[in-house]
Chain A
């Protein structure tokens, strides 16, 4: 296993379109996290899963954002009706258990909304 992977690496879309990003965590990791990173800032937590259960979603940026992890393996993050302010890097991270403090990040998906 080579680590956390994300697809696509880059996405350009027009305002108002929906986009979906995929994250494949390290295979034995049961915790999966989504972050957003804007220019000049650190990663900002959005949501996370323990297996297929979404344990925190109050910090998703708006109701246009949703995430799923249906089988407890890969996860998707969807943004509906994209806005120019959604342009950012979207990062996924995974960790082995709730008590393993280290999260391992994927390379990110860079979104540009025109």
Chain B
């Protein structure tokens, strides 16, 4: 069962513009959400997270938004840089049960 879905397998943006990656989940019991970035031949690297008691968390160029009523979260990258090109996974967690989406491949063009 796919409790976490990333419906866009790929996204291409121009350097300097905003990248918006989306994620939907089905289980309202999830209480913590994370974004990971993955380069080829490496494991996922933690990027940013948000608790269900918040609706926004910001860290430099990265902002995560959570809409609990819609069971939707998004990651905004502003401005996008070529080094941001990677696969981005969202994850949703309840206690020790963490579920991942299938990932979105972001390509930032110079």
Contact = CB atoms under 8 A, between A and B. Distances in A.
A108 B39 CA distance: 12
B108 interface: no
Interface residues of B, number: 24
A41 B102 contact: yes
Contact of A45 (B9, B32, B45, B97): B97
B40 to A, nearest CB: 11
A105 B43 contact: yes
A4 B43 CA distance: 10
Given A42-B101, A42-B103, A55 B43 contact: no
Contacts of A103: 46, 98
Contacts of B89: 42-43
B44 interface: yes
A93 B89 CA distance: 15
A65 to B, nearest CB: 18
B102 to A, nearest CB: 5
Interface string B40-56: 01111110010000000
B76 interface: no
Contacts of B45: 105
Interface string A25-43: 0000001000000001111
A42 B43 contact: no
Interface of A: 4, 6, 31, 40-45, 48, 55-56, 91, 93, 98, 101-108
